[in-house]
Structure 1
Amino acid sequence: MHKLILVPAMLLLLLLSACSSAQTDSASSQDGPQQPCSEAGQHRASEYAPGQLVASTELEPDDDNEDFPTGARAWRVLYTSTGKDNTDLQLVCGVVIAPADPERIASAGPGGNGRMASWTHGTVGVQAHCQPSVQPERNIWGPMPGGFNVVAWGEPGKADGRRGTSQGGALQYMVERGWVVSATDYFADLEGGGLLEPYVIGRNEASNAIDAARAAHHLLRQVYPELSTTSYEYLTWGHSQGGHAAMWNAQLVNAYTAATRQPDDPELVLRGAALLAPASTIIVDPSRQPYTGYPYGLADWVVNQVVGPSLFGDRLGIKLGPALYSYILGAWATHSGGKTPRKGQLPAYPGDAANLDLTAVATDAGAETTTKMVDLCLVSQPLKVAELSLPYDAKDFLVPRLSDGVDIGGQVHGQVSRTCAGSPGKELDKWCRWMWYQTPGPLGRSPLPKLPKQDGALVPVYIADGTNDLIVRCRSVAPEPDTLPDQRDCLSHAFYQALADDAYCPSGSKARGNLQLDLWQENPDTTEANHFTVPGVASARDLVSPQFEGSPLERWMTAAMDQRLPNECAAPRLMNPSGNPAGEHR
């Protein structure tokens, strides 16, 4: 029986990554974590409370940091957070960016409150040396989708390629308005205990992000002793895997901070969640989702999906089935071992679904592939990742009960959702329960909060995607342009519908919160509208002006912070219809 001890599956990095499509293999991320995270072994997490700052190193702009925001300071931080439950202390690394003038921080919000955006990253790798804090010039203030400052999308030099400037970037905009930005790595074996990034484990992603925000506050009180701010209006924000994390961040921030609060912790007042092509509808339940069906969950779509070469340069075509499942299976199997999470302490997974058995879901070939991915980083080693995925197709990788499905439109869907809805057997049922547990939003099956609320009221949620997204599936299949994909063909649309029906705009009731879904369609002159373009196009004033100010995302973020968004579920809208291909926002 295969039970993984140290086997995070790297290939899923291709599924939800925020890497550049032109990336080539290098060893640039292989040097390991940088100070102070490289010295984590000198500290013991058990000596600190969640959210405490352990150490920090200021990051000085230099010739390699041409996109570093003006008027800002940045630090790499080592802090404590929690894993399986509130008592499972871990050391985590991250980055904090703040205005160089502390008066801007104190005046960002009304009444002396600060404002903070919590960024959660997409897939870069599951080892510590793969994480964004190792190379912040690329993965923090670099161009989108890898970084989150410079507004960019598409291939440089091609008709649909765009790259803005650092001065017109998202991070620059926030710094100029006094916002603090925190960015977690998610924890990854900093103490040498065999832990890896908790990929798509919502509670862990959330606690790591929330504690990064608290550590940011403690850092600022150290470097700016005169700063009196103790409360921050708080907004969560992420792409792909990071979209999944951003939703969980928003769902848990109040429950988690209340359960782990220390006397000197800041108050985080939730204002909204921005989800860019989020990993959301993992599997489906047609009894609660009549607008979709069994073969239309994320786990079903990607079983036999091939991502064409255009996403990864002209060299590569990636089979997403082996990529997705080697990463999911490896990460979840490693985190399911050891001590069982405690009830009543915000457990990360069902306590009676521990010690996941890999052979319940993977063939011998699939298990072997998974074990080979442990040390690879997608950002610096995509060719090696692709090479390992090529020999396998889904039927070689997953057991037939999961991989053999129905041919719909020329693509064979998996049977994950249908199998999980039946009687899958004891060991496979554990995996099914994990999938439902890690599902964000109202359809998730866990004892944890399922909706983002502040003082009992729903906060605004913004969702963005492209209608040519083959990774977190959102694909318009109609031959006519300007046709929005329905919930079966667009996982983001299905997630929007679940939020609307179950919480924000239930049938027969007044709207209870603000919910928005923006979609972009493919246009050869402006955007491919694929998974990797979403952060850029949502952050652009229009599709010819890659500038954050005036963009759909900026306008939503500002209105959410100012509490100006009405209670309504805005109809999903196409942002660049044929009559307005540049997507000019009026």
Structure 2
Amino acid sequence: MASIVAAALLTMPATASAQRAGTLVSAEPAADAPAGMRAWRVRYRTMSDRNQPIEVTGMVIAPERPSSGPGRVIAWTHGMIGVAQKCAPSSGGLNFTMIPSLADVIGRGYTVVAPDYPGLGSAMVHPGLVGVSTGRSVLDAVRAARDIRGANAGLRFAVWGESQGGHAALWTGQLARSYAPELDLVGIAAIVPPTDLARNMKEGSDPRARALLMAYTGTSWSRHYGIPMTAFGSRATQNVMTRLADNYCIETHKKPKLGTILGIVTVQRAIRNLDLGKQQPWGRLMRENSVSPAAVPSPLLVATGSKDVIVAPAVVRDFAQRACRNGKAVRYLSIPGGEHATVARTDARTTLDWIDARFAGQRAPSDCGRI
């Protein structure tokens, strides 16, 4: 009975602080955690981009035998898997396979904080690629993890993300000092990140991926910002886009159903000549949610793959160059033959070694002279 009471107290914050951003609401132990790990599916408070308190979800994964003292934290920010509530990585065991080299991460003694982002796992619209909303949810997940007994989460953290998560990682850095000044961000690793959203929407060379991204972002932003979807064409096309967004979560090891494929082809045809960045208010919102290379703190690790057909390597390179011109220390990786879905995994050890060095206080390397 005493243990039950203690667990209840752990997951029920005091009334006075119940609405505070970063407050842990609940932490449910995950029975399916891999060997050598402990994990919790969490609910916690954050603040939306409209400064409204909201409750969101995520997962925290820690070594089964944590080290003494406040532990080092890696915030893992996942790539685009959909915009429907059911697509949340924490709802099943997806985080255990999605996070690159998780066994190595835990073996190095890190506690992993993996937010779902607002609207994935929580009853609200998912504001996909909306920087402020996503970045705040990451920072508040790091805060909330500190209240889980056994997670051993400290104030020092690095953020590591791929694709949409690379965008989230950079926005987390952009917001960290003003939004969560008590946290100590030691480094940002952004893998295949969309940074200039208008260019990313236009220059991705895989038309099917571009169509699906348009369906996800168009539906998400239309609902979040209250924008009509007329820029995408007929009512029939708009309906196909919303059905894709509401029903399809990307599963990288499963072939989409025929209906999904046909829906993507329909959208692909409808938007083949669309430059969304020139359509207002879409263009303005894309600029607002793009990443500022001047505002993101260093040190940075930025990686792309030469065969990425979803986030154009040229856009990633341009961002790294602009960050260098703004005085940032940038470790830049361009992986020969690297694809959008592979770079985070094939080069996970390089990324983790770089993160280790940031926690160790070593001087950050910079490739700005050769980019």
TM-score range, shorter chain: 0.7 to 0.9
1:554 and 2:352 matched: yes
2:281 to 416, 430, 442: 430
Code of the aligned partner of 1:49? R
1:92 corresponds in structure 2 to: 56
Partner of 1:377, secondary structure, is coil
Q: Which amino acid aligns with 1:269?
A: D
Give yes or no for the alignment of 1:234 onto 2:234.
no
Tell me by how many angstroms 1:362 deviates. Answer: 3.8
- The residue type equivalent to 2:285 in the other structure is W
The equivalent position to 1:132 in structure 2, one of 89, 98, 122, is 89
- Given residue 216 of structure 1, which amino acid in structure 2 is its aligned partner? A
Aligned-pair identity in percent equals: 26
Pick the structure with greater CA Rg: 1
Following the alignment from structure 2 to structure 1, what is the Cα–Cα distance between the partners of residues 224 and 121?
A: 15
The unaligned stretches of length 5 or more in structure 2 are 1-14
Larger relative CO (CA 8 A, sep 6+): 1 or 2? 1
- Select the structure that is richer in helix: 2
Matched, 1:254 2:174: no
* SS of 1:75 mapped into structure 2: strand
CA contact (8 A) 1:519 1:572 kept: no
Alpha-carbon shift at residue 244 of structure 1 (Å): 0.4
Report whether the alignment pairs 1:209 with 2:157. no
- What code does the residue aligned with 2:361 have? Q
Give the AA of the match of 1:429: Q
Whether the 8 Å contact between 1:73 and 1:99 is mirrored in structure 2 is yes
Pairing 1:244-283 to 2, within 5 Å after superposition: 244-258=167-181, 267-283=182-198
Mapping of residues 193-342 of structure 1, within 5 Å: 195-220=124-149, 223=150, 231-258=154-181, 267-283=182-198, 297-302=199-204, 305-306=205-206, 319-336=208-225
Distance 2:360 2:56 in 1: 31
CA contact (8 A) 1:115 1:179 kept: yes
C-alpha deviation, 1:366, in angstroms? 3.0
Q: Which runs of 4+ in 1 moved over 6 A?
A: none
Q: Does 1:389 align with 2:340?
A: no
- Aligned pair 1:179/2:110, yes or no? yes
Ranges in structure 1 where 5+ consecutive residues have no aligned partner? 1-43, 107-112, 150-169, 259-266, 284-296, 308-318, 337-354, 398-402, 405-413, 420-427, 444-449, 453-458, 475-489, 505-512, 523-528, 540-550, 574-586
Match of 2:266, SS state, is: coil
- Count how many residue pairs are aligned between Structure 1 and Structure 2: 352
Residues 293 and 319, structure 2, Cα contact 8 Å, conserved in 1: no
Q: Give 1:306's aligned amino acid.
A: D
Hey, what's the Cα distance between the residues in 2 that align with 1:119 and 1:495? 21
**What is the Cα deviation at residue 572 of structure 1?**
5.3
Deviation string 1:305-345 (CA, Å, 9 cap, x unpaired) is 436xxxxxxxxxxx234212111111011111xxxxxxxxx
Deviations 1:444-469 (A, max 9, x none): xxxxxx222xxxxxx21001111001
Quickly say closer, same or farther: Cα 1:131–1:105, change in 2 above 3 A: farther
**Any idea what SS the aligned residue of 1:76 has?**
strand
1:54 to 25, 28, 42: 25
- Matching residue's letter, 2:256: P
SS at match of 1:209: helix
> Any conservation in 1 of the 2:87–2:121 contact (CA below 8 Å)?
no
Secondary structure of residue in 1 paired with 2:126: coil
Indicate the residue corresponding to 2:12 in structure 1. Answer: none
Give the RMSD, CA atoms, in angstroms.
2.5
**Normalising by structure 2, what TM-score?**
0.86
Partners in 1 of 2:25 and 2:91 — Cα distance?
17
Whether contact under 8 Å (1:105, 1:178) holds in the other structure is: no
Choose the corresponding residue for 1:495, options 319, 322, 342: 319
> What's the CA shift for 1:567?
6.3
The separation in 2 between residues aligned to 1:191 and 1:461, in whole angstroms, is 31
Aligned residue runs from structure 1 range 20-39, under 5 A: none
Partner of 2:340: 531
